[in-house]
Amino acid sequence: MHFLFPVFKWADGTWLGETIRASRIYFPIIETFHLLALTILFGAVIVLNLRLCRVIMKNQPVQQVAEDLSPWAFWSLVVILTSGFMLFTSEAMKCYASKPFQVKMVFLFSALIFHFTVHRRATRSDREPTLPWGSFVGGVNVLLWLGVGLGGRGIGFL
Amino acid sequence: MSDVPAVIQWLQNSEIGTGIRESVWTFPLVETTHVLALALSVGVLIWFDLRLLGWGMKHTPVSQVHKQVMPLAGIGFIVMFISGLLLFWSEAEKCYLSGFFRAKVLFLVLAGVNAAVFEFTTKKSIEEWDKYPVPPPKARIAGLFSILSWAAVIIAGRATAYNLF
């Protein structure tokens, strides 16, 4: 048994999880919000990182593109994490046994940490990152979020 | 199922349709491609719509956002459309009978008409809009309509897969 098992057990027994499980439509509705917010975040990630790689928006400073996108990206992330947590409580035991869920969580925490440290430093400084460094940071960031998305889709299938 | 047109039954029972439906990996792979392409095309398109509304990317001229973002949205749309056709092929009967799927097609057509009107008429004066922080009402309406119709496509598409009703 994994040392995190009590967390899954607790989530599974919460009022929230039980309420969502008991209804046929709560889960699909919450999932739809999860998906809509994810679309917005994914678009922001693509646009910002293509700018870092100097593929698009070359006339706009990286910092400015990042600042323009950030409120939308931030609030969509809030919706994604909230709805994701709700979905998790409703099927925590399934998630515990799911390999794709484990993969997704590893990618999620890596993506969040990378996003708020290395990536933030590259996109929020007055000085434009060099092309190799910008491309590296942008590429890693896209791949991490892609891993989150693929893992998430896998939960439903495997 | 007698109320399903022959062509739908034929699609569903064709070699390709059956192959996609019954293979362990093909359906999930096509479906995953569909969702990723959707996030790419609608995800970047939304930034242009938000720019049209004056709600996002305010520091970048409208014509710039259009030029930079639309090719990406186009690539995503092509992948999404092809993968969507394959999914339909494999589940033609279910889709045909689903009210959500019919709604999805309707919203898709609305989104398409809106995009066509914008690209062929409204857009003509796009260079003019660069002078102002917020584009004219006709452009804002197009942006809002695009966001709403695509959100409806996603919601109806997700509901098709759940097969609720």
pLDDT bucket at B165, cuts 50 / 70 / 90: low
Which of A24, A25, A43 is the closest to B44 by Cβ? A43
pLDDT bucket at B164, cuts 50 / 70 / 90: low
pLDDT tens column, B73-114 = 999 999 999 999 999 999 999 999 999 999 999 999 999 999
pTM of the predicted structure, to 2 decimals: 0.91
- Where are the domains positioned within chain A? 5-157
pLDDT score recorded for residue A21:
95
Number of A/B CB contacts below 8 angstroms equals 85
Q: Which residues of A112-142 are buried (b: 16+ CB within 10 A; e: fewer)?
A: eebbeeebeebbeeeeebeeeebbbbbebbb
Nearest to A39 by CA among B125, B5, B150, B104: B150
Q: Cβ of A7: how many Cβ atoms within 10 Å?
A: 12
d(CA A5, nearest CA chain B) in Å = 29
Q: What is the pLDDT along chain A (158 residues), one digit of tens a residue?
A: 788 999 999 999 999 999 999 999 999 999 999 999 999 999 999 999 999 999 999 888 999 999 999 999 999 999 999 999 999 999 999 999 999 999 999 999 999 999 999 999 999 888 889 999 999 999 999 999 999 999 999 998 87
Of chain B residues 42-61, which have a CB less than 8 A from chain A?
42-47, 50, 56-60
- Put simply, the answer to whether A69 touches B57 (Cβ < 8 Å) is yes
Which of A41, A68, A157 is the closest to B58 by Cβ? A68
Whole-angstrom distance, CA of residue A57 vs CA of residue B163: 41
